[in-house]
Structure 1
Amino acid sequence: YYLPPNADEFFFRFETTPVRGLSTSFQYQFIRHGADYGTQQVQGSSLYSELSNVNRDDIEKHFLHDGAYNWMHIISAGASYSTKKTKVPFNIYGSLGFLYSYYTMIDDEDYKRPTILGNHKADGNTKYHFVDNDEYPVQCGIVMTFGIKLWNF
């Protein structure tokens, strides 16, 4: 899975097969990513900015301390059942997850990005704080996946 630039992720997945043909899983993901839009956009946080070869080595990045960052917590559980005993082997799968997403940002007086070379005023010691506004809102959601796979050998 491609994780966009200027991001990090912690991923934990536990899988088990309690009986033949049935597998279950539980997973937790923690993802942080620089905002690629808005008043505190972080240079280098979008694929477009990574494709540019102009002044790439001069971009100053101070992860979490140079603009707005999206923090996502995703917890999900799933199961899959497959059989090869029928004329048409199949797999039934599904998962249910919960997403909690919020932003942090630095104070406006610390955010200065006059050129394409990143924020020259912020550094690794710049304080960031939780924010919930129209531009960078807190969001919660449910993610559901269900499906059937049919195949022949």
Structure 2
Amino acid sequence: MKGKFTLLLFSVTFLVFIYQIKTGVLIGLNPSDLHYEDFIIYAFFHSSSTHFAFNLAALLFLGYYLEEKIGTDKFIVLFFITTIFAGIVYVLIYPSADRLCVGLSGFIFGIVGGNIVAYKEKYRNYFLLSALFYISFTVFLIYFDIVGIGCSGKKNTKLHDFKPLK
């Protein structure tokens, strides 16, 4: 079966989101209280239904094709490397933040980059494609900073930088 790890990630993330809705629990990467397992677990929690929907749509539409192109084993390695790397970057940028980093977006952008590399022979102008990726990335970040709604229903200033209600 092709895309089996993509479907596994989709299923786990979906189940975690249901758990999150029912319990109100939000587990994420907190630079003020680091645990090794958080560098993976944070990817499965999302700060809003919009955040969740966009991440899973991107995972299905982009992840499936990349996994088919590079194989499941390499795709699994890509998941762990990009998810952990995105978490490390968050901790380095916000070392004293008492906020949670959540979501699959670090991995999604790893998938986008992987697709650019894997399918570059199909595109005549690789640099144009790369530029379009970075423009899309910037628009994506601006959009989510503007409309980011957290689990509490209150507006967050940053979607991936979520402070739970106390």
The answer to which structure, 1 or 2, has the higher relative contact order (CA under 8 A, 6+ apart) is 2
Q: Report the TM-score when normalising by structure 2.
A: 0.25
The structure number with the bigger radius of gyration is 1
User: Which structure carries more strand by proportion?
Assistant: 1
Q: Report the TM-score when normalising by structure 1.
A: 0.27
User: Which structure carries more helix by proportion?
Assistant: 2
